[in-house]
Amino acid sequence: MKNTGDAVGSFFLFLLGIGAVHGAIRLKVGSPTEPQPGFFPFLGGLSLIVLSTIIFFKGRIGQGQEKIAFGEVGRPALLLVVMIALVAVLDNVGYVIGTFIASGLILRILNVRSWRTLILTSLCLSIGTYVLFDKLLGIDLPVGILVRLGL
Amino acid sequence: MPSCKAPEILRNEAYLNVRCNDEGRGKRSRWAFFSSLSGDRMDFLVNLFQGFSIALSPWNLVFAAIGAVIGTAIGVLPGLGPPATVALLLPVTYKMDPASATIMLAGIFYGAMYGGSTTSILLNIPGEAASVVTCLDGYKMARQGRAGPALGISAIGSFIAGTISVFGMSLVAPSLASFALKFGPPEYFSLVLLGLIMAVYLSEESIIKGLAMVALGLLLGTVGIDPVHGATRFTFGVSRLLDGFDFVVVAMGLFGISEVLINLEAPEIRDIFKTSFKGLLPTKEDWRRCWAPVLRGSFLGFFIGVLPGGGAIISSFVSYAVEKRVSKHPEQFGKGAIEGVAAPESANNAASTSSFIPLLTLGIPGNATIAMIFVALMIHGIRPGPLLLQEHPNLFWGVIASMYIGNIMLLALNLPLIGVWVRLLKVPYHFLAVVVVIICVIGAYSVKNAVFDVGTMVAFGVMGYLMRKGGFPPAPLILAMILGPILERSLQQSLISSGGDPSLFVEKPISAALLCVAAFLMLTPILKRLLKRKTLTGSAG
């Protein structure tokens, strides 16, 4: 049984290997007596090309692992969208507001129906972690628009 | 000395420098080696007492307890493993004393081994990968109304194994550290290579895919400024990448975010088997059956844990297989044999403790959790390796002594509080998932106070998710990323010192022996396949 997962995975690894070898050559590989910055990446890239080729052919002749079984991909995809949005706005809106909204959305994705639970949990998490990490442990978290409130 | 012709930047590396300063190294290593070999018990006891004075300080006791509690909790809760937890808690340790930080993180690791058995026995879901095998007999025991003795023998066996392993570690580690002072760049190159190959070989995934992940990890480790020549590599003009990918960020993505993504795919089903926890202490008959499996599991776990790449998971499987083979009633295994709980639980605990040996003595993290503790030490400016014992004896002995104390704490936490841990399982996964995501965001941001790192973490989270789906193990990738710079430096320095002649690696006896083991491991699957084919052809003929 041919394994498309292995084929796709090995193809990406193969491309990465090609890219690494190309980048290493541009950096200069040098020789064993005088290794240059590209020497080690060249070896790594070459290994990746060889190994990805083996994975590809093992997958083609049916020696690869079982087919990839994805479950319900909707929820992981939505979580990713929320996280990407959080990354985009974190500096501007700040940690507390950003994580409050993100936590609410994540809880909603995870089928939390009660608005009270959702808002209270999000509020406790964003403010609680801000106080713990920023105020008590001294990790500077972005204040964002709350800076106007003098926080 | 040809090796001293290496560029200045290479000579500045503390442990690689050992090779250049042959005279000093020789004296120091000989002294340390012979003093340890002569079995200077007084020194050992003095050091251990010094370690206890550090571990018993009020704050370190608190941190050991915090580590033990968090470790047990994450061991109990399926869906968050020790590598992710240690990575998540790294920001908390930034302002802590290095010894206290290591004590807490170590507590998380061995605490998780205690807690992992609870879900295996009560839910048939391993809280930890190392407790997978405990499900086989533990859950059957619970079904037969013997959950109490199963949980009891698992906690007591873990305590005995942990204590034996810590004792073994305090005896072996100093001698190994002294021996490792003999290592120069060729030996380090071979050792790191062996460590990476063993990590792949002992993982349950495909060896070829594991090796591909090692190659990818080595490449990711080259991103940033080349430490030897100062050239920028694979940064694509992004200034944030000049320092390379941060291990904490990558680990949080690969282990934390990807874990949440995987768990979101399936609906949450937790069917806790309702049973009485009365009679947690095993009966006389249970003890008669278990004392030998506990001891065998302890010693097996200890030796497997010492191997670079070895660890709790493989040791639990090996000890289960050994017990089944030596048992007079192998047919009872898988049907509720108490030996099938006692042996693997003892082995995984012994291995989790002894896996600190390669880290503290050779500077080689053998598994993903230990790799995170390696990163924690590096953040505090401490380079794990053979010089750690001499440069930071307080940390070395403090951590060892804390493990004795941690094991007692865990026994006290696990047996009487079993009901509390079971109640923890009722916490809905969505709360845990949100907490993990938020702590990942804080952890990634705190590395350099940059949103760029949060984005990188998300990208590695997606990568980790797809890797797991495709059967590509993430642990070899992170190990290779961490060990890559050591491998590169030792390779370059070795080649420069030998004038480009790779035979140097086989001329040095230690290096040659390490490479032989690596080659043997690589050839084993091929030899196995050839033998199988030959047997099949023979039987067909």
Q: pLDDT digit string (tens) for B21-65?
A: 444 444 444 445 444 545 556 677 788 888 899 999 999 999 999
Whether residues A106 and B437 touch (CB distance < 8 A) is answered with yes
Closest CA to B496 of B18, B8, B26: B8
What is the model's pLDDT at position A18? 96
What is the model's pLDDT at position B457? 93
Q: pTM (2 decimals)?
A: 0.79
pLDDT band at B518 (very low <50, low <70, confident <90, very high): confident
Q: How far is B91 from chain A (nearest CA, A)?
A: 8
Residues in chain B within 8 Å Cβ distance of A34: 496, 500
pLDDT band at B273 (very low <50, low <70, confident <90, very high): low
Q: pLDDT digit string (tens) for B285-295?
A: 888 888 899 99
Alpha carbons B34 and B38: distance in angstroms, whole number: 6
Q: pLDDT digit string (tens) for B94-133?
A: 888 899 999 999 998 888 877 778 877 877 767 667 777 8
Residues in chain A within 8 Å Cβ distance of B265: 70-73, 75-76
Residue position matching structure tokens 């942990």 = B162
pLDDT of B203 strictly over 70: no
Higher pLDDT, B224 or B270: B224
Q: Could you give the percent of chain B with pLDDT greater than 90?
A: 17
B232 bridge partner residues:
B225
pLDDT band at B390 (very low <50, low <70, confident <90, very high): confident
Higher pLDDT, A101 or B368: A101
pLDDT of B12 strictly over 60: no
Mean pLDDT of chain B: 81
Q: How far is A146 from chain B (nearest CA, A)?
A: 17
Please provide the DSSP assignment of chain A as one string.
Answer: ---HHHHHHHHHHHHHHHHHHHHHHHH--B-SSSB-TTHHHHHHHHHHHHHHHHHHHHHHTT-SPPPP-----HHHHHHHHHHHHHHHHHHHH-HHHHHHHHHHHHHHHTT---HHHHHHHHHHHHHHHIIIIIIIT------GGGGGGT-
Q: pLDDT digit string (tens) for B59-76?
A: 999 999 999 988 888 887
Q: Locate the chain B residue with the closest alpha carbon to A4.
A: B470
Whether residues B492 and A35 touch (CB distance < 8 A) is answered with yes
Residues in chain B within 8 Å Cβ distance of A106: 430, 433-434, 437
Whether residues B491 and A47 touch (CB distance < 8 A) is answered with no
Which regions in chain A score pLDDT beneath 70? 1-3, 62-71, 148-151
HSE at residue B253, side-chain half, CA atoms within 13 A, is 26
**How is residue B81 written in tokens?**
């493993």
Whether residues B229 and A112 touch (CB distance < 8 A) is answered with no
Q: pLDDT digit string (tens) for B132-143?
A: 788 888 888 888
Whether residues B434 and A110 touch (CB distance < 8 A) is answered with yes
Whether residues A17 and B215 touch (CB distance < 8 A) is answered with yes
Helix ranges (DSSP H) in B327-450:
339-354, 356-357, 368-379, 388-391, 393-414, 418-424, 429-448
Of B211, B461, B472, the CB nearest to A9: B472
Q: pLDDT digit string (tens) for B309-357?
A: 667 777 888 888 888 888 888 888 888 889 999 999 999 889 888 888 8
Whether residues B233 and A141 touch (CB distance < 8 A) is answered with no
Q: pLDDT digit string (tens) for B143-193?
A: 888 888 888 888 888 889 988 988 888 888 888 888 888 888 999 899 889
Q: Locate the chain B residue with the closest alpha carbon to A28.
A: B231
Residues in chain A within 8 Å Cβ distance of B229: 36-37
pLDDT of B267 strictly over 80: no
